[in-house]
Amino acid sequence: MKAIQIIQPGKPPELREVDKPAPGPGQVLLKVTAAGACHSDDFVLNLPEEGFPYPLPMTLGHEGAGVVAEVGTGVTEISEGTSVAVYGAWGCGVCHFCSRGLENYCSRAGELGIAPPGLGNQGAMAEYLLVDDARHLAPLGELHPVAAVSLTDAGLTPYHAIKPSLPKLVGGTTAVVIGAGGLGHVGIQLLRHLTPSRVIALDVSEEKLAFAREVGAHEVVLSDADAVAGVRKITGNDGATAVFDFVGLQPTLDIAMGVVGTMGDVVIVGIGDMVAAAKVGFFTQPYEVSVRAPYWGARDELIEVLDLARDGVLEVAVERFSLDDGVEAYRRLAANELRGRAVVVP
Ligand code: NAD
Ligand code: ZN
Ligand code: ZN
């Protein structure tokens, strides 16, 4: 079968012919219907070769959807032909975090060698995807896989990031979204639907700002050296109640800390460059600011996000590519030329 693989760090991924996997006991084989390209893939592609964390070659794609093609022995929970999305943050299923659905924070995944598809395991950018356990599958029902696949990350991650801030985002407050890309454009929609807050979006080009407005931002501000003043002009002295940084580089972290108000939240979702850091401390931030850096989301939250899409309140802007053109999707992602999410359809 065809698969888009990372062969060598620092080089573009390649379309290759690989063996079609077969499901072992308890596993489920999906015929992939859609796979989303995430900026984290680009991050992984550019990690240094020395100390590269995953076995190579590795098929990319941690946003996956498919139809159940074959089940391994012992699998009775799901039947062939079911259209599903894949919850990708695989954990052990048993530890304290996993038992709460927070497999993204599994405390034993490392020692047990459990890794998500496309981030340690063979991923979804292929004709078939092997899933370790039926519990990782969320039936899509009437949702179209191409429209829904990115809800598994570009939807789930902002949802998990925003949810703990909801009690603070009451009437009269402001939420700021930095980076209106794959995750950010869904984050804006979530904030509009789940809160009465005024939503201000920041990005680096007029085109991206127009897109942010289209998906629901009330106000937009160019993410440049004047961004803090631009946002503060809108919020006044109160500042922002919650800032969601979907970039995570030093300039955006500085903007986030510069616009957050007293008792506000700074939520760092973008993984940046591994060097950038938010400056936190008594004299460097307003009183009682909370800073958190969440990773992905919980299993039950994926179900909630899919239900929001069913209710018609979430729509992922999709640029569609064939598997043969998947490498081009990654080029455009790296060049910041996408509007929303690139979805590859085998
Ligand atoms: P994307 O490329 O689709 O979107 C990034 C957006 O940020 C683009 O619109 C770009 O124009 C904008 N941007 C770039 N520099 C900016 C700046 N200085 N100021 C304002 N905007 C800027 O990426 P994505 O797939 O949405 O991922 C966003 C980030 O989140 C990446 O760092 C990714 O690795 C990370 N991520 C984290 C998690 C997690 O669990 N924490 C999950 C998925 C992705
Ligand atoms: Zn991702
Ligand atoms: Zn666990």
The protein residues having their C-beta less than 5 angstroms from ligand 2 (an ion) are: 38, 40, 153
Query: Mind listing the pLDDT tens digit for each residue in 208-259?
Result: 999 999 999 999 999 999 999 999 999 999 999 999 999 999 999 999 999 9
The protein residues having their C-beta less than 5 angstroms from ligand 3 (an ion) are: 91-92, 95, 98, 106, 108
User: Structure tokens of 92?
Assistant: 């052990």
Looking up tokens 């939240």 gives 265
CA of 114 to the centre of ligand 3 (A): 9
**Adjacent-strand bridge partners of 83:** 67
Cβ of 269 closer than 6 Å to ligand 1, yes or no, is: yes
Q: State the pLDDT at residue 205.
A: 97
Cβ of 43 closer than 6 Å to ligand 1, yes or no, is: yes
Q: State the pLDDT at residue 247.
A: 98
Q: Cβ of 115: how many Cβ atoms within 10 Å? A: 20
Q: State the pLDDT at residue 194.
A: 98
Query: Mind listing the pLDDT tens digit for each residue in 62-117?
Result: 999 999 999 999 999 999 999 999 999 999 999 999 999 999 999 999 999 999 99
Q: Mean pLDDT score of the chain, rounded to an integer? A: 98
Closest by Cα among 1, 22, 27 to 126 = 1
CA of 280 to the centre of ligand 3 (A): 31
Domains of the chain: 2-153+297-345 (3.90.180.10), 156-292 (3.40.50.720)
Question: What is the ipTM score, two decimals?
Answer: 0.99
pTM of the complete model: 0.98
pLDDT-derived band of residue 328, with 50, 70 and 90 as boundaries? very high
CA of 269 to the centre of ligand 1 (A): 8
Cβ of 173 closer than 6 Å to ligand 1, yes or no, is: no
Q: Are strands 240-245 and 260-268 parallel, antiparallel or unpaired?
A: parallel
pLDDT-derived band of residue 138, with 50, 70 and 90 as boundaries? very high
Going by CA atoms, what residue is nearest to atom 12 of ligand 1? 179
Going by CA atoms, what residue is nearest to atom 35 of ligand 1? 270
Q: State the pLDDT at residue 239.
A: 98
CA of 36 to the centre of ligand 2 (A): 9
Query: Mind listing the pLDDT tens digit for each residue in 293-312?
Result: 999 999 999 999 999 999 99
Question: CA end-to-end span of the chain, whole Å?
Answer: 10
The minimum-distance atom of ligand 1 relative to the CA of 338 is 3
- How many residues can be counted in the chain? 346
Going by CA atoms, what residue is nearest to atom 9 of ligand 1? 181
pLDDT-derived band of residue 175, with 50, 70 and 90 as boundaries? very high
Going by CA atoms, what residue is nearest to atom 30 of ligand 1? 270
CA of 267 to the centre of ligand 1 (A): 13
Mutation to probe ligand 1, out of 204, 215, 254, 273 (largest number of atoms < 8 A from CB): 204
The minimum-distance atom of ligand 1 relative to the CA of 297 is 40
Contact 151, 306 (CB under 8 A): yes
Q: What's the angle, vertex CA 125, arms to CA 122 and CA 130, rounded to 5? A: 40
Helix (H, G, I), strand (E, B) or coil at 105: helix
Mutation to probe ligand 1, out of 203, 267, 301 (largest number of atoms < 8 A from CB): 203
User: Structure tokens of 249?
Assistant: 């580089």
3-state secondary structure 207-266: HHHHHHHHCCCCEEEECCCCHHHHHHHHHHHHCEEEEEECCCCHHHHHHHHHHEEEEEEE
